[in-house]
Amino acid sequence: MWPIGILVLGSFLLYRPILELSLLSDDHSAIWWSGVQGEPWRHGFFRPLPDLLLHLSCLVHGPSPTFLRAFNILLHGFNAYLVLTLLHRSSAGRIPLAASFSAAAVFLFYPHHLESTIWIVGRESALGTAFVLLALNTLLSGPPTKARVLKIMVFFAAGLLCYESALLLPVLVIPFVLLVQRQWLTGTSMLAFGFLSVLAGYVLLRLWVLDGTGGAYFHSLLTEGGRDVLAHVPKVLARSIIPPHDDASVQSIRSFLVALIAVSGIILFIRRTRSDPFSRALGAAFFFALLLALVPAIIGGVSTRTTESGRFLHLPAAFLCSLVAVMLYRSLNGLALAVALLSLLAVEFMVLHQAQRNWIIASEITERILDQLPVATGNGSVYVVGLPGEEEGAYIFRNGFHDALRSTGVDPERFIAVSPMLRDSLRTAPDTLVPMVTADRISLWPDVSVMRSENGIRTLAAGKDTFPLDRNDMVVFWDRQRIEKLW
């Protein structure tokens, strides 16, 4: 059991800089409604197991971001251990333990799914991954028996109650059954019956709980995201390997270089395994599992400009890292293997460090805004202009502003968010926003103003929206450094 201890410790060392960050964006809503209020599932979602864990955590230590995030970091280390055991069991000992440990290390350092660890609600995807990997490990642990099939179905059901990516498990077992664990071909009827039974129960329960809609988020993912599936394919394939960048031309060059390296690696792997059909079959199993696991990311899409939506890459990363380890250990040896592996881990660490830095900045901005918001006076409202949505994919107040106020004991109905600043606006905005004052108007970049009419009535205008202001109302804005008063 020593590997799990090393991997969990490594997870805490890697993610120690973000352990004490604040709640971020959707975290506020999840902690308030599921954690504090104890609602079994949040509006539009059906992920009751993570919501239950949030509630139990809040009962034990309150809504502490540090303790909640520590669970995520622990879970990340545990998932890395499951990657190790998955490769070790699927190879039946024919791949050295060092290769399995290397796969786990590459997964641990993998920077493109850090959203699942840093973001407290990101645990949903990490838990879903854990149960899928537990089910696959169980499949690979021995021949088909009723007890083993039952155990797989328990993990399948638990995964479905955490994150929708677990829906992929019935197809993810196929490459492992066909290419690695052929003895399970005699147990396919038991597996099929179990999967269909659990899936039917899950669908009926989900429809019943969510009033027949299946969930607003899940529905929008399938309808809106599914429109550009073909365009998403190259983006997702590239994004699973290379870090995001604003410049499309830079991403194109990076993608070409990575594709060149990947093709060269595949050719070298094929040549070195001419007399090793099992290693080829093992590599093929992880390759096809990777493609299947990328389906949700292809449907929903991932950002190639920021780390946003990296949670969709959490499950695919388990198979990608295993595939990389198999190819490295069957293609290289000695010094070349050590240099390649250490270089890969070093690059992953640098990308991870920069991405963590964005989340640290997002946390600092979140805390500053909540600390500097004024108190509403009389029966007036506070209009908050220009709340930032993110910091290079690290969420700030994309969602959750009113629930963040609830958590601090402030009446959220007194605060109205106006003209939030999304990423494109933030990138073109001045470093500091300064109001322009004239006789009858106070203007703020890009299209916000407080106007005074001839009869003395003041109105807040933000784009096409207008808000009449009473004498007790206040208008404040985020000038990109602090909260300032506009009126």
Q: What are 59-114's pLDDT values in tens digits?
A: 998 899 999 999 999 999 999 999 999 999 999 888 899 999 999 999 999 999 99
Task: Record the tokens describing residue 394, joined without a space.
Answer: 């690290």
pTM for the full predicted model: 0.93
Contact criterion met (CB below 8 Å) for 359 and 393: no
Q: What are phi and psi of 463, to 5 degrees?
A: 65, -125
Contact criterion met (CB below 8 Å) for 135 and 159: yes
Q: What gap in Å lies between CA 74 and CA 81, rounded to an integer?
A: 11
- CA 10 from centre of chain: 20
| pLDDT, mean of residues 462-479 | 89
Q: What gap in Å lies between CA 417 and CA 311, rounded to an integer?
A: 27
Cis peptide before 446 (omega within 30 of 0): yes
Task: Record the tokens describing residue 404, joined without a space.
Answer: 């963040």
Q: What are 137-191's pLDDT values in tens digits?
A: 999 998 899 999 999 999 999 999 999 999 999 999 999 998 877 888 888 899 9
Distance between the two ends of the chain, CA-based, in angstroms?
62
Task: Record the tokens describing residue 487, joined without a space.
Answer: 């009126």
Contact criterion met (CB below 8 Å) for 460 and 418: yes
Q: What gap in Å lies between CA 7 and CA 94, rounded to an integer?
A: 22
- CA 211 from centre of chain: 27
With tokens 């909260």, the residue in question is 483
Contact criterion met (CB below 8 Å) for 474 and 376: yes
Domain limits of the chain? 2-331, 375-485
C-alpha angle 185-188-191 in degrees, rounded to nearest 5: 140
